[in-house]
Amino acid sequence: MNIANWLHDTQRRAPQRPALFDGTRQVADYATFAAHVRQRAACLVDQHGVAAGDAVAVLMKNSCDYLELLYAIWWIGAVVVPINAKLHPAEAAWIAENAEAKLIFTDGGRVLSARDLPLRCKELDGHALPPTRGWPTLEHPVPRQASDLAWLFYTSGTTGRSKGVMLSHGNLVAMSLCYPIDVDPVSADDAAVYAAPMSHGAGLYNFIHVRCGARHVVPASHGFDAAELFGLATELGNVSLFAAPTMVKRMVEQARRQGYRGEGIKTIVYGGGPMYLADLREAVETFGPRLVQIYGQGESPMTISVLPRAVIADGQRVGWASLAASVGHAQSCVEIRILDTHHQPVPAGERGEIAVRGATVMHGYWRNPEATRQTLVDGWLLTGDIGFLDPAGYLTLTDRSKDVIITGGSNVYPREVEEVLAQHPEVFEVCVVGEPDAQWGESVVAFVVTRSAQPLDTAELSAWFLTRMASFKKPKKYLFRDELPKNSYGKILKTDLRQWLKEASIAAVR
């Protein structure tokens, strides 16, 4: 089934139901939403020659147009390649090229330079609604099989190379159906607010809200602003949103400043990175029983485990602290196992690599059979996360074996930052690690050995870095060393560097 059928069904049943909101202003009901989607779909086919199975990239900030574009692309059976709007244009261009995208939609249509734009790929303004006349419109979405590709999502790999995660219409349907069963029931009175990037998990929560005829709200700031969010919730009511733990922390701070207690918010789904217990306690004290945690990854989007609202809110329950520190139990359509290094299951309580099997698990990495073979083993997705299951099936994450740094909810892979810094003529050796950061969750720290053994001007180094990579990946700190600690194979010991940072921060507060 084509997942765009859900929009088709809802607009037939409830054409006048409010659909798209720019801030508190309604910009489309479901009939208008679907009409715009058909217009855009017709233009894709007739003016740009996009066919079923073709890839179309979207490099845009959150907007109502974003949702229309997604559905237009699916309506004709094509594949969406969502690209994080915070990426450097050169990184975005690399993704568009690797995905063999025919078109790339951007804010304004002039984001990529002619030099960056891949051959045979055209850049278009995603906000330009094509005229109705001229092109025949498709009344129904083009039929698709459950296994047909719908969402080609690029997640950075530790090898430094971005990989395209292939998610099918069937994956997206399964993910969406888990939401009302495991995370939160949805009704037509709900409002999904997109405070986190639509190119990532937050955007994927659109489907179940389309299916149920709910409202879709893009904050006027097109991003995350806690005070704005509270205003929207108070005015619109029944608001649900996805937020990274660092966003929840900022919401709590703002709520305390203005005496807000969660009025108008139905549910805050958090995940994507660890939430510290002290922060969770404060969030529950501030917002009451409004929080649900999910654990997922691009390869099984938003859908590995869930820590339900009732567990999080019940602070009096015996053993609450260990349950609240877990990521909950398996969602309905997946099984979870913990594997040893030979990929054999280990008993409850023992640590190992978290593996997942089920209807949300990706079909593999785009044009990368080697990475697919290493990650999908005997039908199980190896997540690269380390954790353990308790006897009741609650999963606790203990480490991220991939060393990913999660800063402000965005993933930064040390290797790709290292690759860039290593290109600097004065840099001899470099190693990047994450450091706990009260505001951002983690921040990027680069240990650098220079050729001259003299420190570099960090402002200059930062400026140089920003000509090559997105600013959220920029190291917040550069620490110059004479050498880096290594094991007997010559591998740099990141654990030693992290330990050094920890000791330095303890010494600093003494």
Using rule CB under 6 A, residue 387 touches ligand AMP:
no
Give the count of residues interacting with ligand AMP (CB under 6 A).
Answer: 16
Q: Which residues of 239-276 are buried (b: 16+ CB within 10 A; e: fewer)?
A: bbbbbbbbbbbbbbebbeeeebebebbbbbbbbbbbbe
Using rule CB under 6 A, residue 171 touches ligand AMP:
no
Using rule CB under 6 A, residue 293 touches ligand AMP:
yes
Q: Which is nearer to ligand AMP, 20 or 376 (CB)?
A: 376
Residue 172's contacts (CB-CB under 8 Å, 6 or more residues apart) are 3, 150, 151, 204, 207
Enumerate residues 33-92 that contact ligand AMP by CB under 6 A. none
Cα-atom radius of gyration of the chain, to the nearest Å? Answer: 23
Give me the least distance between CB of 297 and ligand AMP, in Å please: 3
Using rule CB under 6 A, residue 30 touches ligand AMP:
no
Using rule CB under 6 A, residue 411 touches ligand AMP:
yes
Please answer whether residues 326 and 307 qualify as being in contact, where contact means their C-beta atoms are separated by less than 8 angstroms. yes
Enumerate residues 332-371 that contact ligand AMP by CB under 6 A. none
Note the maximum CA span of the chain.
Answer: 72
Give me the least distance between CB of 138 and ligand AMP, in Å please: 33
Q: Which residue has the tokens 């690029």?
A: 154
Half-sphere exposure of 19 (CA within 13 A, CB side): 28
Using rule CB under 6 A, residue 273 touches ligand AMP:
yes
Site stretch for ligand AMP (CB under 6 A), options 178-186, 249-257, 266-274, 429-437:
266-274
Site stretch for ligand AMP (CB under 6 A), options 169-177, 213-221, 292-300, 480-488:
292-300
Using rule CB under 6 A, residue 295 touches ligand AMP:
yes
Q: Which residue has the tokens 């779909």?
A: 41
Site stretch for ligand AMP (CB under 6 A), options 72-80, 282-290, 294-302, 362-370:
294-302
Interatomic CA distance for residues 183 and 163, integer angstroms? 28
Residue 285's contacts (CB-CB under 8 Å, 6 or more residues apart) are none
Q: Which residue has the tokens 């400026």?
A: 463
Mask for 100-139, x = binds ligand AMP (CB under 6 A): ----------------------------------------
Say how many Å lie between the first and final Cα of the chain, rounded. Answer: 61
Q: Which is nearer to ligand AMP, 155 or 254 (CB)?
A: 155
Number of H helices, E strands in the chain: 16, 25
Site stretch for ligand AMP (CB under 6 A), options 75-83, 289-297, 332-340, 426-434:
289-297
Using rule CB under 6 A, residue 298 touches ligand AMP:
yes
Give me the least distance between CB of 155 and ligand AMP, in Å please: 5
Using rule CB under 6 A, residue 383 touches ligand AMP:
yes
Residue 230's contacts (CB-CB under 8 Å, 6 or more residues apart) are 251, 254, 255, 258, 260, 263, 264
Three-state SS sequence of 121-173: CEEEECCCCCCCCCCCCCCCCCCCCCCCEEEEEEEECCCCCEEEEEEEHHHHH
Among 109, 274, 308, 485, binds ligand AMP (CB under 6 A): 274
Instruction: Identify residue 12 by its one-letter amino acid code.
Output: R
3-state helix, strand, coil in the chain (%, to 5): 30, 30, 40
Give me the least distance between CB of 403 and ligand AMP, in Å please: 10
Give me the least distance between CB of 41 and ligand AMP, in Å please: 29
Interatomic CA distance for residues 223 and 97, integer angstroms? 27
Give me the least distance between CB of 121 and ligand AMP, in Å please: 25
Using rule CB under 6 A, residue 440 touches ligand AMP:
no
Using rule CB under 6 A, residue 408 touches ligand AMP:
no
Residues at the contact surface with ligand AMP, assessed by CB under 6 A: 155, 271-274, 293, 295-298, 327, 383, 385, 397, 400, 411
